[in-house]
Each structure stands twice: as C-alpha cells, then as structure tokens.
Amino acid sequence: MASARLIRSASHRRVRIAATDTEREPLLHQAERTPSGTSNTSVARSSFSDITDEELHFAPYAFSDLPVYRNIWRIRRDILSKINDPYSLEQIRAPRLTQGVIRPLLQTYYELDDISIVFCLLVNRMQFIKDQHFPFHFQSVSTTRALVCEVLASRLLRQFDEDSSGPNGLLLLSNIVIAGFDPFQGSSEALTKQNTRLNWITQPRGYERQATALEVAILSESKLFLSHSACQKVVDAIYTGRVVYSPTAFFDIIPDHYKHKPISIYDPRRAPILNQYRLAVPRVRNLIEVWQFIILLGLYFWVMTTKDASRFTTEELLFCIYTFGWELDQLASILEHGWQVYSQNLWSFLDVVYCSIFTLYFVLRMHGNSMKNDQVGQAALDILAMSAPVLIPRLAFNVFSHNLVFVSLRDMMSRFALLMLLAVWSFAGFFLAMWWLSDRVTDPLTIGKWMIWVWFG
C-alpha cells in the first residue's frame, strides 16, 4: 500500500538550491576517503527490531540524521559525470557499462550503509524525467540517466535483500522502501523554508514533508524497480499485514498521530485478540470496501425500483446518507494519498464519475423538492439512473482487479476519455459557428444533438 503523497519539493517543480561545495561533492570522491562500512549516517540494521512499548504508541522519527539532501545532489553529480551519451536498457546491462559505471556506483552507495540512498536515486530519476523537456537536445541523455538511477536503485535493493535474511532482512527492506524521507532533510534552515510552500499542520512533529521510495517509484513509473522481487516482497508483506506501520499522509480528516507506530513485523502473540488496527491491513481493507460497495449498490437498486418524483422517500434518504459517507471515504483517500497515486487505482475513474453524477442528482433533487416541482425531481432521478453503467462494472473491476482484461479496459477507457475531450475541444468552434449562422434561432441542444449523431455515425 503506497502511503502516497507527491514529491512536492524535489520532484514536481524546480527548486533553487544554494548548496555549498561540500554538499555538491560526488559520493564517489567521498567514498575514496571514507573506510568501508564507517559512515556517520549509517543505520544499524539490527536496531530496527528493538522497539520499546512506548514507541508502539508514538514512534519518533528514527532517520533524522541521514543527509538526504546532500545525497540527492551528490548522486546527481555522479550520474551527470558518468552518463553523457544515450543508451538503451540492454546497453546499460551490457558488460562494458556494468563494469565501468554500474558496479562502481553500486559498491560506493552500498558501502555508505544509508537506507535513504534508494529514495535519493528514485528522486533523481524523477528529476531527470522532468529534465527531458528542457533542453530538447539532452532529452535522450536525460532518459538514459533516469534509467540508470532506476537500475541502480533496483540492484541496490537486491544487494540489501541478498545480504539480509529472515525477519530482520524483511524489516530492513521495509524501511528502505516505505520509510518516509524529506528531500530537504539535512539542508540549511533557510533553504528548507524557501522551498516549503505548504503548511503541514496536520502532520506529527518530525514527519513533515516526507515521501517514501515506493511512492516516488509509483509516480515516476519505475516499473523495473516495482517489479523487482525484493520490492514485491515488501509489497506482499504489507498487503497481507505481516509488516505494519503508520504511513504519513498529505492531509488527514481525522488525524490520530498520537498513535503513530514504527515500521515493524506483526507478532500475533503480542497483539490483542481484537486488534482494530488489523482493519487497516490492505487485504482486509479491500474486503471491507467490496462489502461497502455491495451495500451501496443494493441501496441504489432499492431507490430506483421504488422511486417517486413527487416526494423524497425514506429509501432515498438512507441512500443519500450512505453515499455521502462513501464519498467522504473517497475524498479522504485523495487527500491522504494525492490525486496522482489515487488515480492509479483500477476503478478510480468510475468512482469519480459516480460521485459527479450523484452530486448533480442530489442538487437537482433538493432544488425540485424545495420548489415542489415534480419535473425537476424526475430529471434528478433520470440523472441518477445514468449511474447504472458505472456502478455495475465497478463491482467487476473490484473483484477481478488483477485480471489483464480489466487492466487493459481501464487503459482503453482513459484513452477514450482523452479522445472525447479533444473531440469536444476541437469541434466547439463548429458548434458556435452553426449557432451563430442560424441567428441563434436553432436551439443549442439541438445543434449539439446533431453533432453527436454525426460523430457517432
């Protein structure tokens, strides 16, 4: 489960960084002067499992001493100095580049014993992807640099996985993948304030402006990293509830940060019999969401079979109350994870369409009920009937979310929606021209209906 916030400071916009010469120094030069395994920013891997009872209620941020900001800049300098020509993935994996570029960088980063390096590599990948747009003649080189960052992150995660086994190894990988890091951690206070545009008043102290390596990989579409066995091991452990943690969110409607828990391995022998936190396990949460939607679908059928435009029935009241709660849950997911991660869900576009239809229905229904106008009430119910093509397939998307056909169908629907938007935009001029040529005598709805008939044949 990606505790998704956007990389608002380091990846979604250019920042002005007044770094010192020491901060801009490549990691390769630093490693030549630093003995292997002796790093001031190293994190003892065995300490991840040493969690006291007090930390189970609120865990202080454990990685505040890691120089994330400096690592981001040093990795960028390393990549810029090593990659000056465009290469494909096959060429990057070839022995020449592997021996000359990938392995030296991989060994250098691994010897730092810094779990934020994977996050810093993915942040640099995202920045190199943004660099593709300016200047144009460096587009292919920026693509290669982004690909090298992803390859390094994948191999570094694999090396951590190979050198650590058992529960402690899984806990180490979990901290690498889902521990939150601030891109400006370790920079000067003035620089942090200069590049902080949002007031994170809803976040617990020590967890502001943080993002995880998993979130950055999702937003940068790092498929090579996400499909790696070590990353999948962490994702599967989170999904089944073996690894538990409290993800930091962009915004919480009902914050409970006093219960902020560290990343840990779930021990059923120490947990209470009725543990409400197990309801947040993604596998359990998905099952709950399916039943919530089944109840919503049942109420919808109940309302449509007993609809009465002349009065607001009890069935409609129950349906509206339940739907408002369901929409609030969707809004909370968007605020917590950010729109870009929320939209990665297979059925997110169906939920957004249904929420729009229901909102329009409710506004017209309340207006018609207050004006005692049965025609407006019937129009509202007709609009609500249009949500049937959205609600019924949505249940199939939820049940068969891993089916390749539904994944392809979602991509097809998103491309079709983009095509329709471009078509409306392109033919809006024809619509206005025909309306003005008719001296505004012909109804605009009639002209629009004719154009729809022509468009769909």
Q: Are 231 and 21 in contact (CB under 8 A)?
A: no
Q: Are 180 and 204 in contact (CB under 8 A)?
A: no
- Kindly indicate the confidence band of residue 230, based on its pLDDT and cuts at 50, 70 and 90: very high
Confidence at residue 209, expressed as pLDDT on a 0 to 100 scale: 63
- Does residue 135 have a cis peptide bond before it, meaning omega lies within 30 degrees of 0? yes
Interval 371-392 mean pLDDT: 90
Alpha carbon of 123 to those of 6, 74, 116, 181, 243: distances in Å?
Answer: 11, 12, 11, 11, 24
Domain ranges for the chain = 21-277, 282-402, 407-457
Q: Residue 110 pLDDT > 70, yes or no?
A: yes
Q: Are 383 and 360 in contact (CB under 8 A)?
A: yes
For 207-236, b where at least 16 C-beta lie within 10 A, e where not — what string? Answer: bbbbbbbbbbbbbbebeebbebebbebbbe
Give the global pTM: 0.73
Q: At 380, is the secondary structure helix, strand, or coil?
A: helix
The widest CA-to-CA distance across the chain, in whole angstroms, is 84
- Kindly indicate the confidence band of residue 329, based on its pLDDT and cuts at 50, 70 and 90: confident
Give the tens place of pLDDT for each residue, 306-320: 988 888 889 999 999
Q: Residue 161 pLDDT > 70, yes or no?
A: yes
Give the tens place of pLDDT for each residue, 288-305: 888 999 999 999 999 999
Tally of helices (H runs) and strands (E runs) in the chain: 21, 2
